[in-house]
Homo-oligomer: A and B are copies of this chain.
Amino acid sequence: MINPNSPPPALPDGGLRVVALGGIGEVGRNMTVFEHAGRLLVVDCGVLFPEDDQPGVDLILPDFRAIEQRLDDIDALVLTHGHEDHIGAVPFLLKLRPDLPVVGSRFTLALLSAKCKEHRQNPTLVEISDGERRAFGPYELEFFAVNHSIPDAVAVAIRTLAGLVLHTGDIKLDQLPLDGRLTDLAGFSRLGDEGVDLFLVDSTNAEVPGFVAPEREIGPVLENVIRKADQRVIVACFASHVHRVQQVLDVAAQYHRRVALVGRSMVRNMGIAAELGFLHVPDGLFVDLNEAMEMPANEVLFVSTGSQGEPLSALSRMARGEHRQISIRPGDTIVLASSLIPGNENAVFGVVNGLARLGATVVHQGNANVHVSGHSPAGELLFLYNAVRPSNVMPVHGEWRHLRANAALAVATGVAEDRVVIAEDGVVVDLVDGEAAISGRVEVGHVYVDGLSVGDVGESTLSDRLVLGEGGFIAITVAVDSSTGRAVAPPTVSGRGFSDDPKALDQAISLVEMELSRTEAEGITDSHRIAQAVRRVVGRWVAETYRRRPMIVPTIIPV
Protein backbone atom coordinates (compact mmCIF):
# COMPACT_ATOMS: atom_id res chain seq x y z
CA MET A 1 0.00 0.00 0.00
CA ILE A 2 1.30 3.45 -0.97
CA ASN A 3 1.36 6.07 1.78
CA PRO A 4 1.28 9.43 0.03
CA ASN A 5 2.98 11.07 3.03
CA SER A 6 5.97 8.71 3.33
CA PRO A 7 9.13 8.50 1.27
CA PRO A 8 8.33 6.58 -1.93
CA PRO A 9 9.36 2.99 -2.60
CA ALA A 10 12.16 2.37 -5.14
CA LEU A 11 11.20 3.43 -8.65
CA PRO A 12 10.20 0.37 -10.71
CA ASP A 13 12.55 -0.45 -13.60
CA GLY A 14 11.62 1.48 -16.71
CA GLY A 15 9.62 4.03 -14.74
CA LEU A 16 10.02 7.80 -14.61
CA ARG A 17 9.82 9.75 -11.36
CA VAL A 18 8.85 13.43 -11.09
CA VAL A 19 9.28 15.59 -7.98
CA ALA A 20 8.91 19.34 -7.78
CA LEU A 21 11.28 20.84 -5.21
CA GLY A 22 9.51 24.16 -5.72
CA GLY A 23 6.82 25.83 -7.81
CA ILE A 24 3.80 23.64 -7.11
CA GLY A 25 1.45 24.99 -4.47
CA GLU A 26 3.16 28.38 -4.82
CA VAL A 27 4.09 30.85 -7.54
CA GLY A 28 7.88 30.97 -7.82
CA ARG A 29 11.11 28.95 -7.20
CA ASN A 30 10.20 26.52 -9.99
CA MET A 31 12.30 23.37 -9.97
CA THR A 32 11.28 19.95 -11.20
CA VAL A 33 13.47 16.86 -10.86
CA PHE A 34 13.06 13.83 -13.15
CA GLU A 35 14.57 10.43 -12.37
CA HIS A 36 14.96 7.56 -14.79
CA ALA A 37 17.36 4.63 -14.98
CA GLY A 38 19.28 5.92 -11.97
CA ARG A 39 19.94 9.31 -13.53
CA LEU A 40 18.45 12.75 -12.81
CA LEU A 41 17.37 15.66 -14.99
CA VAL A 42 16.43 19.04 -13.52
CA VAL A 43 14.13 21.54 -15.23
CA ASP A 44 14.47 25.14 -13.95
CA CYS A 45 15.92 26.34 -10.67
CA GLY A 46 14.31 29.60 -9.58
CA VAL A 47 13.76 31.74 -6.54
CA LEU A 48 10.61 32.79 -4.72
CA PHE A 49 10.14 36.24 -3.23
CA PRO A 50 9.04 36.30 0.42
CA GLU A 51 5.57 37.19 1.68
CA ASP A 52 4.38 39.09 4.74
CA ASP A 53 4.80 36.09 7.01
CA GLN A 54 8.46 35.71 5.98
CA PRO A 55 9.75 39.12 7.10
CA GLY A 56 13.27 40.32 6.45
CA VAL A 57 14.07 37.49 4.07
CA ASP A 58 15.61 38.39 0.72
CA LEU A 59 14.89 35.24 -1.27
CA ILE A 60 13.53 31.75 -0.89
CA LEU A 61 15.31 28.86 -2.62
CA PRO A 62 14.05 25.41 -3.60
CA ASP A 63 15.00 22.80 -1.02
CA PHE A 64 17.93 20.82 -2.50
CA ARG A 65 17.99 18.17 0.26
CA ALA A 66 16.22 15.57 -1.88
CA ILE A 67 19.05 15.64 -4.42
CA GLU A 68 22.10 16.76 -2.47
CA GLN A 69 23.35 13.18 -1.98
CA ARG A 70 22.93 12.52 -5.71
CA LEU A 71 24.40 15.61 -7.33
CA ASP A 72 26.67 13.54 -9.56
CA ASP A 73 23.66 11.69 -10.96
CA ILE A 74 22.32 14.89 -12.58
CA ASP A 75 22.85 14.81 -16.34
CA ALA A 76 21.70 18.35 -17.04
CA LEU A 77 19.86 21.40 -15.77
CA VAL A 78 17.40 22.67 -18.40
CA LEU A 79 16.24 26.30 -18.16
CA THR A 80 12.98 27.07 -19.96
CA HIS A 81 13.49 30.88 -19.85
CA GLY A 82 15.36 33.65 -18.08
CA HIS A 83 12.93 34.87 -15.38
CA GLU A 84 14.18 34.91 -11.78
CA ASP A 85 11.61 32.33 -10.69
CA HIS A 86 13.22 29.93 -13.19
CA ILE A 87 16.94 30.77 -13.03
CA GLY A 88 17.45 32.73 -9.79
CA ALA A 89 18.64 29.77 -7.68
CA VAL A 90 21.04 28.33 -10.28
CA PRO A 91 24.15 29.87 -8.63
CA PHE A 92 23.21 28.14 -5.37
CA LEU A 93 22.93 24.78 -7.15
CA LEU A 94 26.19 25.39 -9.05
CA LYS A 95 27.93 25.97 -5.71
CA LEU A 96 27.14 22.32 -4.93
CA ARG A 97 27.92 21.01 -8.44
CA PRO A 98 30.01 23.56 -10.39
CA ASP A 99 30.37 21.45 -13.56
CA LEU A 100 26.66 20.80 -14.04
CA PRO A 101 25.75 21.31 -17.73
CA VAL A 102 23.22 24.14 -17.97
CA VAL A 103 21.01 23.90 -21.05
CA GLY A 104 18.97 26.76 -22.48
CA SER A 105 18.27 29.12 -25.36
CA ARG A 106 20.58 31.97 -26.28
CA PHE A 107 18.87 34.80 -24.37
CA THR A 108 18.22 32.63 -21.32
CA LEU A 109 21.89 31.64 -21.08
CA ALA A 110 23.00 35.25 -21.58
CA LEU A 111 20.92 36.35 -18.60
CA LEU A 112 22.19 33.39 -16.58
CA SER A 113 25.80 34.23 -17.46
CA ALA A 114 25.37 37.79 -16.20
CA LYS A 115 23.93 36.43 -12.95
CA CYS A 116 26.71 33.85 -12.54
CA LYS A 117 29.34 36.53 -13.14
CA GLU A 118 28.04 38.39 -10.07
CA HIS A 119 28.55 35.14 -8.12
CA ARG A 120 32.03 34.72 -9.70
CA GLN A 121 30.93 31.51 -11.35
CA ASN A 122 31.75 30.25 -14.81
CA PRO A 123 29.12 27.64 -15.64
CA THR A 124 29.18 25.00 -18.38
CA LEU A 125 26.59 26.26 -20.86
CA VAL A 126 24.88 24.24 -23.58
CA GLU A 127 22.97 26.46 -25.98
CA ILE A 128 20.02 24.92 -27.82
CA SER A 129 17.72 26.31 -30.45
CA ASP A 130 14.03 25.86 -31.30
CA GLY A 131 13.29 22.41 -32.67
CA GLU A 132 16.66 21.00 -31.63
CA ARG A 133 16.99 17.50 -30.17
CA ARG A 134 19.75 16.55 -27.80
CA ALA A 135 20.42 13.68 -25.39
CA PHE A 136 21.70 13.92 -21.83
CA GLY A 137 22.21 10.48 -20.29
CA PRO A 138 18.99 8.51 -20.76
CA TYR A 139 17.01 11.68 -21.51
CA GLU A 140 16.27 12.56 -25.15
CA LEU A 141 15.28 16.22 -25.09
CA GLU A 142 13.49 18.21 -27.78
CA PHE A 143 12.96 21.95 -27.50
CA PHE A 144 9.92 23.91 -28.71
CA ALA A 145 9.53 27.66 -29.12
CA VAL A 146 7.00 29.14 -26.72
CA ASN A 147 5.71 32.65 -26.33
CA HIS A 148 5.95 34.33 -22.91
CA SER A 149 6.72 37.75 -21.41
CA ILE A 150 10.43 37.33 -22.10
CA PRO A 151 12.07 36.39 -25.43
CA ASP A 152 13.42 32.98 -26.34
CA ALA A 153 11.38 30.84 -23.93
CA VAL A 154 11.11 27.11 -24.65
CA ALA A 155 9.06 24.08 -23.70
CA VAL A 156 10.89 20.80 -23.37
CA ALA A 157 9.84 17.31 -24.42
CA ILE A 158 11.59 14.55 -22.52
CA ARG A 159 11.72 11.11 -24.08
CA THR A 160 12.79 8.11 -22.00
CA LEU A 161 11.96 4.43 -22.06
CA ALA A 162 9.14 5.30 -19.65
CA GLY A 163 7.39 7.43 -22.24
CA LEU A 164 7.10 10.95 -23.59
CA VAL A 165 6.80 13.89 -21.24
CA LEU A 166 6.10 17.50 -22.25
CA HIS A 167 6.83 20.37 -19.85
CA THR A 168 5.44 23.74 -21.01
CA GLY A 169 7.56 25.99 -18.83
CA ASP A 170 5.77 29.34 -18.69
CA ILE A 171 3.63 29.71 -21.77
CA LYS A 172 1.02 31.69 -23.63
CA LEU A 173 -0.42 31.58 -27.14
CA ASP A 174 -0.08 35.10 -28.53
CA GLN A 175 -1.09 34.57 -32.17
CA LEU A 176 0.53 37.84 -33.30
CA PRO A 177 3.74 37.92 -31.28
CA LEU A 178 5.90 40.99 -31.63
CA ASP A 179 8.91 38.94 -32.76
CA GLY A 180 6.85 36.58 -34.95
CA ARG A 181 8.01 33.63 -32.84
CA LEU A 182 4.81 31.65 -32.17
CA THR A 183 4.36 28.99 -29.54
CA ASP A 184 4.97 25.83 -31.56
CA LEU A 185 1.44 24.42 -31.36
CA ALA A 186 2.11 22.46 -34.57
CA GLY A 187 5.05 20.77 -32.82
CA PHE A 188 2.86 20.03 -29.80
CA SER A 189 0.25 18.49 -32.12
CA ARG A 190 2.93 16.29 -33.66
CA LEU A 191 3.89 15.15 -30.14
CA GLY A 192 0.21 14.55 -29.50
CA ASP A 193 0.08 12.28 -32.56
CA GLU A 194 3.09 10.41 -31.21
CA GLY A 195 1.38 10.15 -27.80
CA VAL A 196 2.23 12.27 -24.78
CA ASP A 197 2.28 10.17 -21.62
CA LEU A 198 2.64 13.03 -19.14
CA PHE A 199 1.95 16.71 -19.67
CA LEU A 200 3.21 19.28 -17.14
CA VAL A 201 1.25 22.49 -17.69
CA ASP A 202 1.65 26.09 -16.46
CA SER A 203 -1.29 26.80 -14.14
CA THR A 204 -0.71 30.49 -13.32
CA ASN A 205 -3.76 31.84 -15.16
CA ALA A 206 -5.96 28.73 -15.18
CA GLU A 207 -8.63 30.50 -13.11
CA VAL A 208 -8.87 33.36 -15.60
CA PRO A 209 -11.41 32.83 -18.40
CA GLY A 210 -10.65 33.55 -22.05
CA PHE A 211 -7.53 34.65 -23.87
CA VAL A 212 -4.67 37.14 -23.48
CA ALA A 213 -4.73 40.10 -25.85
CA PRO A 214 -1.68 40.26 -28.13
CA GLU A 215 1.34 42.07 -26.68
CA ARG A 216 1.33 44.32 -29.76
CA GLU A 217 -1.95 45.93 -28.61
CA ILE A 218 0.03 47.68 -25.88
CA GLY A 219 1.85 49.81 -28.47
CA PRO A 220 -1.14 51.93 -29.56
CA VAL A 221 -2.14 52.48 -25.92
CA LEU A 222 1.36 53.72 -25.13
CA GLU A 223 1.26 55.85 -28.24
CA ASN A 224 -1.97 57.48 -27.14
CA VAL A 225 -0.48 58.35 -23.74
CA ILE A 226 2.90 59.55 -24.99
CA ARG A 227 1.47 61.59 -27.84
CA LYS A 228 -0.55 63.69 -25.40
CA ALA A 229 2.31 64.19 -22.92
CA ASP A 230 3.94 67.62 -23.05
CA GLN A 231 6.30 67.11 -20.12
CA ARG A 232 8.52 64.21 -19.12
CA VAL A 233 7.38 60.61 -19.59
CA ILE A 234 8.55 57.76 -17.38
CA VAL A 235 7.58 54.20 -18.27
CA ALA A 236 8.18 51.52 -15.64
CA CYS A 237 8.09 47.83 -16.49
CA PHE A 238 9.86 44.57 -15.75
CA ALA A 239 13.55 44.71 -16.59
CA SER A 240 13.34 41.50 -18.63
CA HIS A 241 10.27 42.40 -20.70
CA VAL A 242 12.13 43.10 -23.93
CA HIS A 243 9.03 43.30 -26.12
CA ARG A 244 7.33 45.79 -23.82
CA VAL A 245 10.45 47.96 -23.84
CA GLN A 246 10.69 47.57 -27.63
CA GLN A 247 7.26 49.12 -28.03
CA VAL A 248 8.17 51.97 -25.70
CA LEU A 249 11.32 52.66 -27.73
CA ASP A 250 9.37 52.63 -30.99
CA VAL A 251 6.81 55.15 -29.71
CA ALA A 252 9.57 57.32 -28.20
CA ALA A 253 11.35 57.42 -31.57
CA GLN A 254 8.09 58.29 -33.31
CA TYR A 255 7.54 61.30 -31.02
CA HIS A 256 11.16 62.41 -31.11
CA ARG A 257 11.95 61.61 -27.52
CA ARG A 258 15.34 60.21 -26.61
CA VAL A 259 15.38 57.38 -24.08
CA ALA A 260 17.34 57.00 -20.85
CA LEU A 261 17.32 53.66 -19.02
CA VAL A 262 17.00 53.88 -15.25
CA GLY A 263 17.83 51.05 -12.86
CA ARG A 264 20.75 48.60 -12.81
CA SER A 265 18.85 45.52 -14.07
CA MET A 266 17.12 47.51 -16.83
CA VAL A 267 20.45 48.80 -18.12
CA ARG A 268 22.06 45.35 -17.91
CA ASN A 269 19.24 43.33 -19.49
CA MET A 270 18.50 45.74 -22.32
CA GLY A 271 22.23 45.86 -23.07
CA ILE A 272 22.24 42.08 -23.43
CA ALA A 273 19.01 42.09 -25.46
CA ALA A 274 20.31 44.74 -27.86
CA GLU A 275 23.66 43.02 -28.27
CA LEU A 276 22.02 39.68 -29.12
CA GLY A 277 19.52 41.25 -31.50
CA PHE A 278 16.41 40.73 -29.37
CA LEU A 279 15.94 44.48 -28.91
CA HIS A 280 16.19 46.85 -31.86
CA VAL A 281 17.38 50.29 -30.80
CA PRO A 282 17.10 53.06 -33.40
CA ASP A 283 20.45 54.83 -33.89
CA GLY A 284 21.06 57.59 -31.37
CA LEU A 285 17.89 56.87 -29.40
CA PHE A 286 19.56 56.08 -26.11
CA VAL A 287 20.88 58.91 -24.02
CA ASP A 288 22.81 58.87 -20.79
CA LEU A 289 20.74 59.70 -17.69
CA ASN A 290 22.83 62.75 -16.79
CA GLU A 291 22.54 64.11 -20.30
CA ALA A 292 18.79 63.41 -20.32
CA MET A 293 18.38 65.55 -17.20
CA GLU A 294 19.69 68.55 -19.16
CA MET A 295 17.27 68.08 -22.07
CA PRO A 296 13.85 69.75 -22.48
CA ALA A 297 11.12 67.79 -20.68
CA ASN A 298 9.20 66.95 -23.85
CA GLU A 299 12.24 65.48 -25.59
CA VAL A 300 13.04 62.67 -23.16
CA LEU A 301 11.51 59.46 -21.97
CA PHE A 302 12.77 57.32 -19.11
CA VAL A 303 12.38 53.55 -19.00
CA SER A 304 12.66 52.50 -15.40
CA THR A 305 12.49 49.57 -13.01
CA GLY A 306 10.33 49.74 -9.91
CA SER A 307 6.96 48.77 -11.40
CA GLN A 308 6.21 46.58 -8.35
CA GLY A 309 6.73 49.39 -5.86
CA GLU A 310 10.05 48.02 -4.59
CA PRO A 311 10.97 50.57 -1.88
CA LEU A 312 14.59 51.03 -3.00
CA SER A 313 13.80 51.31 -6.72
CA ALA A 314 14.23 54.52 -8.69
CA LEU A 315 10.48 54.96 -9.15
CA SER A 316 9.71 54.61 -5.44
CA ARG A 317 12.36 57.18 -4.65
CA MET A 318 10.84 59.56 -7.20
CA ALA A 319 7.41 59.06 -5.62
CA ARG A 320 8.84 59.98 -2.21
CA GLY A 321 10.70 62.97 -3.69
CA GLU A 322 14.00 61.33 -2.76
CA HIS A 323 15.51 60.48 -6.14
CA ARG A 324 18.98 61.96 -6.56
CA GLN A 325 18.41 63.10 -10.13
CA ILE A 326 14.74 62.98 -11.13
CA SER A 327 12.21 65.09 -9.23
CA ILE A 328 8.60 64.70 -10.35
CA ARG A 329 6.86 67.86 -11.48
CA PRO A 330 3.18 68.65 -12.18
CA GLY A 331 2.38 67.57 -15.72
CA ASP A 332 4.82 64.65 -15.81
CA THR A 333 3.35 61.40 -17.13
CA ILE A 334 4.22 58.08 -15.52
CA VAL A 335 3.15 54.76 -17.00
CA LEU A 336 3.30 51.51 -15.03
CA ALA A 337 3.28 49.10 -17.98
CA SER A 338 3.29 46.04 -15.78
CA SER A 339 1.23 43.51 -13.90
CA LEU A 340 0.29 44.00 -10.29
CA ILE A 341 1.65 40.92 -8.54
CA PRO A 342 -0.71 39.92 -5.69
CA GLY A 343 0.74 41.13 -2.41
CA ASN A 344 2.40 44.18 -3.98
CA GLU A 345 -0.80 46.27 -4.17
CA ASN A 346 -0.06 48.49 -1.18
CA ALA A 347 3.49 49.17 -2.34
CA VAL A 348 2.46 49.87 -5.94
CA PHE A 349 -0.49 52.10 -5.04
CA GLY A 350 1.73 53.85 -2.50
CA VAL A 351 4.00 54.79 -5.41
CA VAL A 352 1.03 55.80 -7.60
CA ASN A 353 -0.37 58.00 -4.82
CA GLY A 354 3.02 59.59 -4.15
CA LEU A 355 3.39 60.45 -7.84
CA ALA A 356 -0.22 61.75 -8.07
CA ARG A 357 0.35 63.89 -4.97
CA LEU A 358 3.33 65.52 -6.72
CA GLY A 359 1.05 66.40 -9.63
CA ALA A 360 1.94 63.66 -12.10
CA THR A 361 -0.56 61.84 -14.28
CA VAL A 362 -0.20 58.15 -13.55
CA VAL A 363 -1.35 55.54 -16.05
CA HIS A 364 -1.51 51.96 -14.81
CA GLN A 365 -3.23 48.64 -15.36
CA GLY A 366 -6.21 49.84 -13.30
CA ASN A 367 -7.07 52.74 -15.61
CA ALA A 368 -5.64 51.76 -19.03
CA ASN A 369 -4.74 48.63 -21.02
CA VAL A 370 -1.00 48.98 -20.51
CA HIS A 371 -0.32 45.36 -19.60
CA VAL A 372 -1.10 41.87 -20.84
CA SER A 373 -0.22 38.72 -18.95
CA GLY A 374 2.50 36.27 -19.97
CA HIS A 375 0.53 33.16 -19.02
CA SER A 376 -2.24 31.32 -20.86
CA PRO A 377 -5.68 31.67 -19.28
CA ALA A 378 -8.34 28.98 -19.47
CA GLY A 379 -9.28 29.48 -23.12
CA GLU A 380 -5.69 29.04 -24.30
CA LEU A 381 -5.04 26.09 -21.99
CA LEU A 382 -7.92 24.26 -23.70
CA PHE A 383 -6.10 24.73 -27.04
CA LEU A 384 -3.00 23.23 -25.46
CA TYR A 385 -4.80 20.20 -24.06
CA ASN A 386 -6.56 19.57 -27.36
CA ALA A 387 -3.29 19.79 -29.29
CA VAL A 388 -1.34 17.53 -26.96
CA ARG A 389 -4.12 15.04 -26.01
CA PRO A 390 -2.08 13.74 -23.04
CA SER A 391 -2.86 10.50 -21.19
CA ASN A 392 -1.65 11.94 -17.86
CA VAL A 393 -1.58 15.53 -16.68
CA MET A 394 0.29 17.22 -13.85
CA PRO A 395 -0.53 20.93 -13.32
CA VAL A 396 2.59 22.91 -12.33
CA HIS A 397 3.48 26.54 -11.53
CA GLY A 398 0.69 27.69 -9.31
CA GLU A 399 -1.04 27.83 -5.98
CA TRP A 400 -3.68 25.28 -5.08
CA ARG A 401 -6.48 27.38 -6.57
CA HIS A 402 -4.62 27.47 -9.91
CA LEU A 403 -3.79 23.77 -9.88
CA ARG A 404 -7.43 22.80 -9.25
CA ALA A 405 -8.65 25.10 -12.02
CA ASN A 406 -6.07 23.71 -14.44
CA ALA A 407 -7.00 20.14 -13.53
CA ALA A 408 -10.66 20.90 -14.27
CA LEU A 409 -9.69 22.17 -17.74
CA ALA A 410 -7.76 18.96 -18.48
CA VAL A 411 -10.77 16.88 -17.47
CA ALA A 412 -13.08 19.05 -19.57
CA THR A 413 -11.01 18.20 -22.66
CA GLY A 414 -11.35 14.48 -22.00
CA VAL A 415 -8.39 13.53 -19.81
CA ALA A 416 -9.55 10.86 -17.35
CA GLU A 417 -10.13 12.40 -13.92
CA ASP A 418 -7.88 9.85 -12.17
CA ARG A 419 -5.07 10.57 -14.65
CA VAL A 420 -4.83 14.20 -13.54
CA VAL A 421 -2.36 14.28 -10.69
CA ILE A 422 -2.38 17.30 -8.39
CA ALA A 423 0.91 17.22 -6.55
CA GLU A 424 2.49 19.92 -4.44
CA ASP A 425 6.18 20.51 -3.70
CA GLY A 426 7.81 17.28 -2.51
CA VAL A 427 5.05 14.99 -3.73
CA VAL A 428 6.55 12.13 -5.76
CA VAL A 429 4.77 11.18 -8.97
CA ASP A 430 5.78 8.00 -10.80
CA LEU A 431 4.99 7.30 -14.44
CA VAL A 432 4.95 3.51 -14.76
CA ASP A 433 3.40 1.54 -17.62
CA GLY A 434 1.85 4.72 -18.98
CA GLU A 435 0.08 5.65 -15.77
CA ALA A 436 1.09 8.52 -13.51
CA ALA A 437 0.32 8.30 -9.81
CA ILE A 438 1.53 9.64 -6.49
CA SER A 439 3.96 7.23 -4.84
CA GLY A 440 5.06 9.17 -1.78
CA ARG A 441 6.54 12.38 -0.52
CA VAL A 442 10.01 13.74 0.21
CA GLU A 443 10.66 16.52 2.68
CA VAL A 444 10.66 19.97 1.11
CA GLY A 445 10.95 23.14 3.18
CA HIS A 446 11.62 26.80 2.60
CA VAL A 447 15.30 27.70 2.37
CA TYR A 448 15.76 31.36 3.22
CA VAL A 449 18.48 33.68 1.99
CA ASP A 450 18.90 36.63 4.34
CA GLY A 451 21.84 38.87 3.56
CA LEU A 452 24.98 36.85 3.02
CA SER A 453 23.93 33.53 4.44
CA VAL A 454 21.68 30.74 3.29
CA GLY A 455 19.68 28.55 5.60
CA ASP A 456 20.47 29.91 9.07
CA VAL A 457 17.22 31.85 9.16
CA GLY A 458 14.46 29.30 9.70
CA GLU A 459 10.92 29.06 10.99
CA SER A 460 11.87 29.83 14.59
CA THR A 461 13.65 33.06 13.65
CA LEU A 462 10.73 34.08 11.42
CA SER A 463 8.20 33.39 14.14
CA ASP A 464 10.25 35.56 16.53
CA ARG A 465 10.31 38.32 13.91
CA LEU A 466 6.54 38.13 13.53
CA VAL A 467 6.06 38.49 17.31
CA LEU A 468 8.60 41.34 17.51
CA GLY A 469 7.11 43.09 14.50
CA GLU A 470 3.60 42.98 15.97
CA GLY A 471 4.36 43.94 19.54
CA GLY A 472 8.04 44.76 20.08
CA PHE A 473 9.72 43.51 23.24
CA ILE A 474 10.17 44.30 26.90
CA ALA A 475 13.64 43.54 28.27
CA ILE A 476 14.18 43.06 32.00
CA THR A 477 17.77 42.87 33.20
CA VAL A 478 18.79 42.00 36.75
CA ALA A 479 22.22 41.40 38.25
CA VAL A 480 21.83 38.79 40.97
CA ASP A 481 24.22 37.54 43.63
CA SER A 482 24.64 33.96 42.53
CA SER A 483 24.99 32.57 46.04
CA THR A 484 22.01 34.31 47.65
CA GLY A 485 19.77 35.08 44.67
CA ARG A 486 19.57 38.70 45.83
CA ALA A 487 19.43 41.49 43.24
CA VAL A 488 22.63 43.53 43.58
CA ALA A 489 21.18 46.56 41.73
CA PRO A 490 17.67 47.73 40.82
CA PRO A 491 16.26 45.86 37.80
CA THR A 492 16.19 47.69 34.48
CA VAL A 493 13.00 47.37 32.45
CA SER A 494 12.92 48.80 28.94
CA GLY A 495 10.82 48.32 25.85
CA ARG A 496 11.36 48.76 22.13
CA GLY A 497 8.44 48.72 19.72
CA PHE A 498 6.13 48.67 22.71
CA SER A 499 5.04 52.24 23.48
CA ASP A 500 6.00 55.86 22.80
CA ASP A 501 5.08 56.69 26.38
CA PRO A 502 8.29 56.83 28.49
CA LYS A 503 6.31 55.95 31.64
CA ALA A 504 4.55 52.97 30.07
CA LEU A 505 6.67 50.42 31.95
CA ASP A 506 7.18 52.23 35.27
CA GLN A 507 4.69 50.03 37.05
CA ALA A 508 6.48 46.90 35.87
CA ILE A 509 9.68 47.77 37.77
CA SER A 510 8.05 47.45 41.17
CA LEU A 511 6.36 44.22 40.10
CA VAL A 512 9.75 42.80 39.15
CA GLU A 513 11.25 43.95 42.45
CA MET A 514 8.44 42.27 44.38
CA GLU A 515 8.92 39.09 42.41
CA LEU A 516 12.69 39.15 43.06
CA SER A 517 12.06 39.52 46.79
CA ARG A 518 9.80 36.51 46.58
CA THR A 519 12.30 34.35 44.67
CA GLU A 520 15.06 35.41 47.04
CA ALA A 521 12.87 34.58 50.06
CA GLU A 522 12.19 31.16 48.56
CA GLY A 523 15.94 30.66 48.21
CA ILE A 524 15.87 30.51 44.42
CA THR A 525 19.36 31.22 43.05
CA ASP A 526 19.13 29.57 39.63
CA SER A 527 19.21 32.25 36.88
CA HIS A 528 16.92 30.29 34.64
CA ARG A 529 14.21 29.93 37.29
CA ILE A 530 14.48 33.60 38.26
CA ALA A 531 14.16 34.57 34.57
CA GLN A 532 11.04 32.42 34.21
CA ALA A 533 9.44 34.01 37.25
CA VAL A 534 10.19 37.51 35.96
CA ARG A 535 8.87 36.69 32.49
CA ARG A 536 5.64 35.34 33.92
CA VAL A 537 4.89 38.31 36.13
CA VAL A 538 5.68 40.92 33.45
CA GLY A 539 3.84 39.00 30.74
CA ARG A 540 0.72 38.76 32.85
CA TRP A 541 0.87 42.44 33.79
CA VAL A 542 1.26 43.67 30.21
CA ALA A 543 -1.55 41.42 28.94
CA GLU A 544 -3.94 42.70 31.61
CA THR A 545 -2.91 46.35 31.48
CA TYR A 546 -2.51 46.81 27.74
CA ARG A 547 -3.99 43.68 26.16
CA ARG A 548 -0.81 43.35 24.07
CA ARG A 549 1.68 40.52 23.54
CA PRO A 550 5.22 41.87 23.27
CA MET A 551 8.10 39.42 23.56
CA ILE A 552 9.27 39.37 27.19
CA VAL A 553 13.06 39.02 27.41
CA PRO A 554 14.48 38.58 30.91
CA THR A 555 18.27 38.54 31.38
CA ILE A 556 19.63 37.48 34.76
CA ILE A 557 23.31 38.18 35.28
CA PRO A 558 24.88 36.21 38.09
CA VAL A 559 27.67 38.25 39.72
Contact = CB atoms under 8 A, between A and B. Distances in A.
Interface of A: 25, 51-52, 55-56, 207-209, 342-343, 345-346, 349, 352-354, 356-357, 361-362, 366-367, 399-401, 403-405, 424, 450-453, 456-462, 464-473, 475, 477, 479, 488-489, 492, 494, 496-501, 504, 545-548, 551, 553, 555, 557-559
Copies assembled: 2
Given A401-B362, A475-B555, A456 B352 contact: no
A497 B477 contact: no
B367 A460 contact: no
A346 B52 contact: yes
Given A399-B353, A469-B468, A559-B479, A548 B496 contact: no
Contact of A461 (B357, B401, B488, B497): B497
B342 A343 contact: no
A469 B469 CA distance: 4
B471 A547 contact: no
A470 B479 contact: no
Nearest to A501: B456
A370 B25 CA distance: 25
Contact of A367 (B405, B457, B559): B405
A501 B343 CA distance: 30
Contacts of A343: 345-346
Nearest to A359: B404
A235 to B, nearest CB: 17
A208 B352 CA distance: 15
A559 B491 CA distance: 11
Contacts of A494: 555
Contacts of A489: 557-559
B559 A488 contact: yes
A346 B51 contact: yes
A500 B457 CA distance: 5
A256 to B, nearest CB: 27
